[in-house]
Amino acid sequence: MIARVYVGLKPGVLDPQGRTIAHSLNDLGFDEVQDAKQGKVIELTLSGDDREAAEARVKEMCETLLANTVIESYRIELDD
Amino acid sequence: MIARVYVGLKPGVLDPQGRTIAHSLNDLGFDEVQDAKQGKVIELTLSGDDREAAEARVKEMCETLLANTVIESYRIELDD
Amino acid sequence: MADLFTGPHTITADIVKEHGLSESEYEVILDRLEREPNLTELGIFSVMWSEHCSYKSSRRHLGKFLTTSDRVIQGPGENAGVIDIDDGDAIIFKMESHNHPSYIEPYQGAATGVGGIMRDVFTMGARPIALMNALRFGAPDHPKTKSLVSGVVAGIGGYGNCVGVPTVGGETNFHPGYNGNILVNAMCVGLARTDNVFYSAARGVGNPIFYVGSKTGRDGIHGATMASAEFDDDSEEKRPTVQVGDPFTEKLLIEACLELMATDAIIAIQDMGAAGLTSSSIEMADKGGVGIELDLDDVPQREEGMTAYEMMLSESQERMLMVIQPGKEQLAFDVFEKWGLDVAEIGRTTDTGRLVLNHGKEVVCDIPIAPLADDAPNYDRPHTPTEKRDILQAHDVAAPQDQNEALLKVMTDPDMTSKRWIWEQYDRHVMADTVDSSQSGGDAAIIRIHGSDGPTNKAVAITTDCTPRYCYADPVEGGRQVVAETWRNLTCVGADPIAITDCLNFGNPERPDIMGQFVGCIDGMNEACRAFDYPVVSGNVSLYNETNGVAIPPTPAVGGVGLISDLAHVKTLKGMRPGETLMLIGA
Amino acid sequence: MTTAVIVFPASNCDRDAAMALKAATGKAPRMIWHKDTSIPDDVRFVVVPGGFSYGDYLRSGAIAANSPIMRDLKRKADGGLAVAGICNGFQILTEAGMLPGALMRNMNQKFVCRVSRLRLANAETRFTRLYDAKNEIDIPVAHHDGNYFADDETLKRIEDNGQVVFRYSDNPNGSRNDIAGVVNKAGNVLGMMPHPERAIDSLHGGTDGKLFFQSILGSL
Ligand SMILES: Nc1ncnc2c1ncn2[C@@H]1O[C@H](COP(=O)(O)OP(=O)(O)O)[C@@H](O)[C@H]1O
């Protein structure tokens, strides 16, 4: 089973990386870019096939390690 | 319009971050984790509403800046 | 597909060519093997006889260098040079190029260059204590320059900072001659004890061979070979020839290797650099005069279904090969596992003088080792000396109209401007022994020697130098000048210069004018080395630095190391005060 | 006095920290491996050193913050043990929830290594009590992720409590309120991005870090 964890900064947290990307794109002539945000995707290959159990476990992984909930929020997606 | 760009390492390219994340999840008792890969998501806010044109432009952004196509591949998703 | 790698089949002229071997070189292989090689064997010959590994265009000229003095413990021929700095301390150092990879992928190319040169140094038992980098980019306004500079600098910093070795100095030049071919030369200096230096010669029969570090992937396997679809079932994605560095694993390797080196478990050790498993195993066997048998199924692998060919030619980073003292296997496993590294026993030394590879219950390679080294091509390429030009006399040059403007012009020249933007991205102080670095703008960096009981009163001075425009105008004079400049820079900070390493970056050696530059520079360097009793103890050659038939300016970068016996006698630019007297000394 | 340094894989500044502690106490600190599960009872002061623990992969300090030794460190810190996290150590302590806020990528995206002039925002903590509040001090920084962030509410709280200890005079990384170092509410756990252990020997240029070690060690 594949779990995909999307981790992004919470609203209100300044995103220096995103800001730099937006600026550089503007500099390169991509004037239509109004804003950019950068996040992470962590793709986990998991053994087992109980989706519900997996979801709970991945949530635990996010809370313990994968996201820093002081500044980040996360979203989990499961594939088969 | 929102464009989401997913950037990940091409198959076969060493992913030290992913490997370290997988190890550390195992160490924390998440034994079901067999592998982890880390990628980026860049969310762009774009002006204009021509989807097709936007897609072409974002592709150009990926090739010039957002992805390092020597080692990374990317995928584009468009929202309204 | 499998039989392409193992079974009987014809090696076509095209396959030989794709492997960069000439017809006559292939004839030698047929003669030594007394049969056709299979593809794996051909791949092994091709990397061992490549310019990179065999130095086939440069070997006879490098042989002229002064390489000994009463401080030299090990000159060229090992992973790095070793010099004696008294009290049982040794300095181990070398400089190496990573030009081409850095042009293709500046961050990773430069980063893996730093990783590679550090491995050369800690392989010999030294803890890396300082890094330097000599960089050459194209014109500042060339469209690629900006991203190359920022990528290379970030890569050098990213790797060195993460491993925790200070990057204390270097040089950066800009010239249109590097527009299509930048130079990234990295130098590493390490500290060891003279009685605990490690070499690569394997010894004994039946001694276990250990593989340690990252798993082997399909990184950087022969660009040309891989592009041809016939070796590649799933070629929908052309495989990248650029490796990704893993500085964290490198740091663990350093600590683990040094920990094991403090025991008597290691007989021989060699890092896997270019052509990884091939060159490391063959060098160990050749130097020790033994044979080696490897079980490729036991090699830690990152990807599934790797062939023997791919494993032997992979350039995956952060890997080491070692011969372990029988009976010490468990000790070795324990140390590497403590540091969380992949480790496997993958073979043994033999008395056959052959390289034998087993893969999937089959012998996929069985070749004599001696010819790989002894019969490596050694060319005497035609070389025409660079034509002498008239010396430019000062009175032939018009005096500047406006002194202020002239001064401004000099000060704003990209080669003269502050390089702070670069060196602020390098951790110059980690390890707490940096006495002087880029920051002060001094002539050489100064690193205090840290003994087992803490800091000592001794230091080494380190510098890298080269003025390509002198070498272009007159290679011999330019060669002399490069060496002399390092000597002066070391002397200026109060050090006794001891020895140098070099990185000889030139164009296509098959062109007599380029070969003339190469030979001229070496002759000039060597003259200066002999005049100063200042030997070459290690180095590296990078040829074929050309784009569209235009060669880079001849760039023999030199790294010099000197000893400061008493830190009280250090002289730097720090602490100057208004009102002090300036004196000009010399010619 | 017995002190300790925690060693994670790629804690590059463990030796630097040990030298500073030895210089200050006359006694080499205990080096505690991250896989150990307890800090010996005689240890009075712990340094979580700088470096690139776990390569700074995922997020700086995140993986180290979950190491076995951290549980006992938290427990003992809750009991009053003095702890200082320097650079990567600061990142680890915030990731472990022992200090407020988080350290993000430097505003200009680049690693920065320079001497930074700091203002003493609070010269009355156990870590700064020997400094003169009027003076500025020069301490080197060397980091990629030193951009201090806390949400408005947290920021107000730590400012009101006097938990901000050092501020940059020339903010090198975009930190909110120029914050370079903070303490926890109880005042026994400090985190700072600048490296006081790199400013104890005049050979390196400055000695402004000495009083930091003397302050905390003298208060125990
Ligand atoms: N320009 C040079 N000057 C002196 N020695 C050199 C030079 N180039 C290479 N050597 C020596 O030749 C040997 C092989 O070099 P190289 O292949 O770069 O080492 P490695 O095995 O680490 O890749 C080394 O001992 C090196 O010091």
Handedness of CA C323, C329, C334, C337 (dihedral sign): positive
Residue D197 falls in the annotated catalytic set: yes
Protein residue whose Cα sits closest to atom 23 of ligand 1: C273
Residue of A nearest to D97 (CA): A70
| Ligand 1 midpoint to CA C94 (Å) | 8
The pair of structure tokens assigned to A3 is 């779990």
Widest CA span of chain C, in angstroms?
A: 82
- 10 Å CB burial of residue A7 (0-12, 13-18, 19+) is buried
Residue of B nearest to A62 (CA): B25
| Beta strands C342-350; C362-368: pairing state | unpaired
Write out pLDDT tens, residues C505-552.
999 999 999 999 999 999 999 999 999 999 999 999 999 999 888 999
Atom of ligand 1 minimally distant from the CA of C522: 1
- Give yes or no for residue B75 having a pLDDT over 90: yes
pLDDT band with cut points at 50, 70 and 90 for residue C133 = very high
Task: Tell which D residues from 58 to 117 touch C, by Cβ distance under 8 Å.
Answer: 110-114
Write out pLDDT tens, residues D42-70.
999 999 999 999 999 999 999 999 999 99
Proportion of chain B in helix, strand, coil states, percent, rounded to 5:
35, 40, 30
Give the per-residue pLDDT at C272. 92
Atom of ligand 1 minimally distant from the CA of C540: 8
- Chain D positions touching A20 (Cβ under 8 A) are 108-109
The pair of structure tokens assigned to C109 is 């190319």
Give the per-residue pLDDT at C141. 95
Give the per-residue pLDDT at C37. 93
Residue D87 falls in the annotated catalytic set: yes
- Give yes or no for residue C239 having a pLDDT over 70: no
CA distances from C496 to C132, C240, C451, C486, C532 (A): 19, 45, 20, 11, 11
| Ligand 1 midpoint to CA A63 (Å) | 50
Polymer length of chain B: 80
Interface contact B44-A36, CB threshold 8 A: yes
Interface contact D58-A12, CB threshold 8 A: no
Q: Which residue in the set D66, D101, D109 is minimally distant from A16, CB to CB?
A: D109
| Rg over CA atoms, chain C | 24
Average pLDDT (C129-144) is 96
The pair of structure tokens assigned to D5 is 């340094």
Give the per-residue pLDDT at C241. 66
β-strand partners of A2: A45, A79
Rounded Cα distance between C540 and C117, Å, is 11
Give the per-residue pLDDT at C571. 81
Neighbours of D136 (CB within 10 A): 13
Give the per-residue pLDDT at C235. 38
pLDDT band with cut points at 50, 70 and 90 for residue C576 = confident
Task: Answer whether B8 touches C (CB < 8 Å).
Answer: no
Protein residue whose Cα sits closest to atom 10 of ligand 1: C539
Write out pLDDT tens, residues C373-400.
888 899 999 999 999 888 888 888 898 9
Q: What angle do CA C416, C108, C415 make, to 5 degrees?
A: 5
Task: Name the residue of C92, C538, C542, C543 to mutate for ligand 1: max ligand atoms within 8 A of Cβ.
Answer: C538
The pair of structure tokens assigned to D47 is 């340094």
Query: What SS3 class is residue C264?
Result: coil
Rounded Cα distance between C390 and C144, Å, is 35
Rounded Cα distance between D177 and C380, Å, is 67
| Ligand 1 midpoint to CA C79 (Å) | 7
Average pLDDT (C212-234) is 61
Question: What domains can you pick out in chain D, each with its CATH number?
Answer: 2-218 (3.40.50.880)
Task: Answer whether A47 touches B (CB < 8 Å).
Answer: yes
- Give yes or no for residue C274 having a pLDDT over 90: no
Interface contact C214-B14, CB threshold 8 A: yes
**Which of D8, D52, D57, D67 to mutate against chain B (most B CBs within 10 Å)?**
D57
Report which of C164, C183, C167, C165 is spatially closest to residue C175, judged by C-alpha positions: C183
User: Which stretches in chain D have pLDDT values below 70?
Assistant: none
| Beta strands B33-46; A33-46: pairing state | antiparallel
| Ligand 1 midpoint to CA A75 (Å) | 52
Give the per-residue pLDDT at C222. 58
Minimal CA separation from C12 to chain B, in Å: 29
Give the per-residue pLDDT at C521. 98
- Give yes or no for residue C299 having a pLDDT over 80: yes
Average pLDDT (C266-277) is 90
In degrees rounded to 5, what are phi and psi of residue C262? Answer: -75, -10
Protein residue whose Cα sits closest to atom 27 of ligand 1: C538
| Ligand 1 midpoint to CA C540 (Å) | 5
- 10 Å CB burial of residue D162 (0-12, 13-18, 19+) is middle
Task: Answer whether D131 touches B (CB < 8 Å).
Answer: no
- Residues D51 and D88: beta-carbon distance below 8 Å: yes
- Give yes or no for residue B65 having a pLDDT over 60: yes
Give the per-residue pLDDT at C514. 97
Rounded Cα distance between C134 and C186, Å, is 6
- Ligand 1, pocket residues at CB < 6 Å: C 53, 62, 65, 76-79, 120, 273, 502, 504, 536, 538-541
Write out pLDDT tens, residues C49-102.
988 888 999 999 999 999 999 999 999 999 999 999 999 999 999 999 999 999
- Residues D80 and D39: beta-carbon distance below 8 Å: no
pLDDT band with cut points at 50, 70 and 90 for residue C9 = low
**Which of A30, A55, A63 to mutate against chain B (most B CBs within 10 Å)?**
A30
Protein residue whose Cα sits closest to atom 2 of ligand 1: C539
Report which of D153, D168, D166, D152 is spatially closest to residue D121, judged by C-alpha positions: D166
In degrees rounded to 5, what are phi and psi of residue A68? Answer: -100, 100
User: Which positions ≥6 away from C225 have C-beta within 8 Å?
Assistant: C18, C19, C43, C231
Minimal CA separation from C82 to chain B, in Å: 32
**Chains with ≥3 CB–CB distances under 8 Å to D:** A, B, C
The rounded mean pLDDT for chain C is 92
- Give yes or no for residue C227 having a pLDDT over 50: no
* Reported pTM: 0.93
**Which of C147, C221, C246, C250 to mutate against chain B (most B CBs within 10 Å)?**
C246
Annotate B41-53 with DSSP letters as a single string: EEEEEESS--HHH
Interface contact A46-B57, CB threshold 8 A: no
Minimal CA separation from D153 to chain C, in Å: 33
| Beta strands D179-183; D164-168: pairing state | antiparallel
Q: Which residue in the set D106, D108, D149 is minimally distant from A71, CB to CB?
A: D149
Protein residue whose Cα sits closest to atom 4 of ligand 1: C539
Give the per-residue pLDDT at B33. 97
Catalytic residues of C: 52, 98
Rounded Cα distance between C502 and B60, Å, is 42
Give the per-residue pLDDT at C224. 37
Write out pLDDT tens, residues C142-171.
999 999 999 999 999 999 999 999 999 999
Residue of A nearest to B67 (CA): A21
Rounded Cα distance between C84 and C72, Å, is 6
| Rg over CA atoms, chain D | 15
Give the per-residue pLDDT at C232. 38
